[in-house]
Structure 1
Amino acid sequence: MSTQALQLEAQIPQLRRYARSLTGDAWAADDLVQDTLERACDRWQLWKAGTDLRAWLFTLMHNLFIDGARRAVRQAGQRVDIDDVAHELATPAGSTDQVLDLQRCLSRLPGEQREVLLLVALQDLTYEEVARITGTPVGTVMSRLSRARTRLRELMDGTLAGPPAVVPLKRLK
């Protein structure tokens, strides 16, 4: 087995865990991991030896996931706001299954907040690595992480009264 294959194989458990958190579905996660590994093999020459392979693979996965999400939105023609279907995600009254509750609460976080939270907390990446993976400034990573932690805490405690206030932003270019 080649060195390349061994290096990639060692990253599969972390890739699967991250893909599962992104997609929320085991089958979709496995597909995302396979697509990531295929892209990594096709573009192996772009990885610089001595740099963090895990961060490079997570960047590939992040980009594939975002591309797939955008494609799905274009194909579906509409978007569903997670807060509009929150009642379908709420845990049953009296449920003591904290893991399931955590999964549901994570799914209610905005995608960019959930992604940053999972990369920092689950994958133990630094802010700089997460910034490189997501293509955002370190300050944005820190801000998203802070908002994600606050919102997750509120969701877990049941103190979140309603959906977060949406502030319309103008795109400046």
Structure 2
Amino acid sequence: MKRTQARFDVVGQLGALRRYARSLTRDSSDAEDLVQDALLRACENRSSFEAGREVRPWLLSILHNVFVDKTRRSKSESLRIKGLAEMSPKQLDAPQDHSVRLAQIRAAFMKLPEEQRTALHLVTIEGLSYQEAADTLAIPVGTLMSRISRGREALRSFEQGRDQTSLKLVGGRDVS
């Protein structure tokens, strides 16, 4: 057993491994990474090493296979990235436009009378049913539906550019 351990001299093969890795990668730091990965694979597959066989060709073979695997993986990844780049839109809307638009909608929503705003909030944002929202506000369902309808109409008017700076309240009077 000791004789096999002595023949499995990885440290003595580091020079050859580094030279071969540099010739494959053409870069010193990539070569060092390749040698490390190859040695890791060699340690993981040490049981596949046949006693009486030379360790150098076995290690160089592992190093070569690791290099080929990395090259294939790199090419595959670059093709995936290229494909994603072709699928993605060429121009994106500026995120600040979205923020400005959201702020405008929020301002229009906040201009709504409290009754309409709370009814719309409970149904559209919180996801309550009409009956649940009416129970929450302690009002009849018909009243809730009326408030939601008037609130939506006011927001539609805002969307269509007919911004109503003063909204009409039912039973109230128009204020200019």
- Could you state the TM-score of these two structures normalised by the residue count of structure 1? 0.42
Larger Rg: 2
